[in-house]
Structure 1
Amino acid sequence: MHILDCLTEIARGALATHAAVVKFFLWRGLVQRAFASIFFALGMASEV
């Protein structure tokens, strides 16, 4: 029973870590996209 408890805790930790990593990469992708569109808009505005 003790081994099962340990495995359950490890699985929970792995899932929590995985969720955090996925959120981090999604957030980073959104931030990069936002910066890209801002710089693109600034570039277009400066050319006009």
Structure 2
Amino acid sequence: MKIPMPPIRKAAVYLTSSGNKKNSAGKNNPEKLRQQKSRFSLEG
């Protein structure tokens, strides 16, 4: 089964664009950041 490219690209863009904002918030709330990472690994 091939993994479709657009969703992966979208996730990468989401990580790079929103990742910077979430990093600053993640310092205050590391648990939330961990949930985000696990969710992306599941989707990816």
TM range (shorter): 0.3 to 0.5
**How does the TM-score come out when normalised to structure 1?**
0.34
Quick one: higher RCO (CA 8 Å, sep 6+), 1 or 2?
2
**How does the TM-score come out when normalised to structure 2?**
0.37
Considering only CA atoms, is the larger Rg found in Structure 1 or Structure 2?
1
Higher helix fraction (1 or 2): 1
